[in-house]
Structure 1
């Protein structure tokens, strides 16, 4: 009988502890929100405040709207295929996430594997041109006549020098393991005097 009483007493204590833990967990939510609003620690909580009956969208404080940079898009191909950007240029703000699309078509009558290599002008822009998604990260195999559209998602670092107002993003698309002709090499011809002397 003593064991039954002890077990009931223990069960009662455990039930009280369990209910107290749930109550404490629920009480933490409004307490946490109040502390965040007072201290400004949680930026997302500030974006959820209601302003005139509407939720205020969170503001990306990393976008420098005081500056505009023109980004020009270029496409070069080493081989018989079509490769071009969907648009030639756009104006962006540093810190703003932007997407541009490049279009490609294999116009050959055979399957091919290819990859793109990016380059930047001016050179100092390369350290501040951050690509989050890019077709240049991988090789692709395309069937004869196959078309592809690939996005490039990028952000220009606001730390880029304010002297830079235009950036050119250029891609060279080349066949991987294919018979791409080598770049032309300059041939030095002997002068008339040298050929006459020999």
Structure 2
């Protein structure tokens, strides 16, 4: 067995601890996604596919107001803005909205949008068939893009939910993980 002095042993332990902490932090994102998918917590919404869309029944007697919010994580030099602040929708009908994103620096950047819905119960009833959040977005230096979200509020949304907020926060993504859209 190799004998290591006290200072070297401490350095080895601290280095090992740092590597383990980095690995744990890196694994948190996929673990968080799985947790949210299983529990429905934190406003993560499900996808609805076109085969299901044809079976939708529109509730023309009711309206739900959707407010659109946009945020950028502090280390991403982008601007993000919903092209409209809110929209009144009939549950059971598909709608489409756009967000405009712009890269503010002279460097290609990959970003990933994370959606959130409040109140939390509403996340179970907001179904997206198309969303820029399904893929990483690549913006060239100074590039501006229009990003689309196609969604439906399920007709079974509780009657006491008269409005909800759909919020997106963009985070910088690793280039190796990009799925160009």
TM-score interval, smaller chain: 0.5 to 0.7
Over aligned residue pairs, what C-alpha RMSD do you find?
1.4
Aligned to 1:66: 61
Partners of 1:145 and 1:61 lie apart in 2 by 40
1:160 maps onto 2:157 in alignment:
yes
* Structure ID, larger Rg: 1
Distance 1:74 1:128 in 2: 18
Larger relative contact order, structure 1 or 2 (CA cutoff 8 Å, min sep 6)? 2
**Does the residue aligned with 1:73 lie in a helix, a strand or coil?**
strand
> In the alignment, is residue 105 of structure 1 matched against residue 102 of structure 2?
yes
Secondary structure of 1:125's partner?
Answer: helix
Ranges in structure 1 where 5+ consecutive residues have no aligned partner: 1-59, 179-198
* Partner SS for 1:109: coil
1:150 to 134, 147, 151: 147
Alignment: residue pair count: 119
Match of 1:95 in 2: 92
Which portions of structure 1, spanning 4 or more consecutive aligned residues, are displaced by more than 2 angstroms?
none
Selected match of 2:138 from 131, 134, 141: 141
1:115 corresponds to which residue?
A: 112
CA deviation map 1:62-105 (0-9, x unaligned): 10011100000000001221101000001000001100001000
CA–CA distance in structure 2, aligned partners of residues 171 and 85 of structure 1? 9
Which structure 2 residue ranges, 5 or more long, are not aligned?
1-54, 176-181
> How high is the TM-score relative to the length of structure 1?
0.58
Deviation at 1:177, TM superposition (A): 2.9
State the shift of 1:125 in Å.
0.6
Deviations 1:136-182 (A, max 9, x none): 0001211100111011000000111000000100000111138xxxx
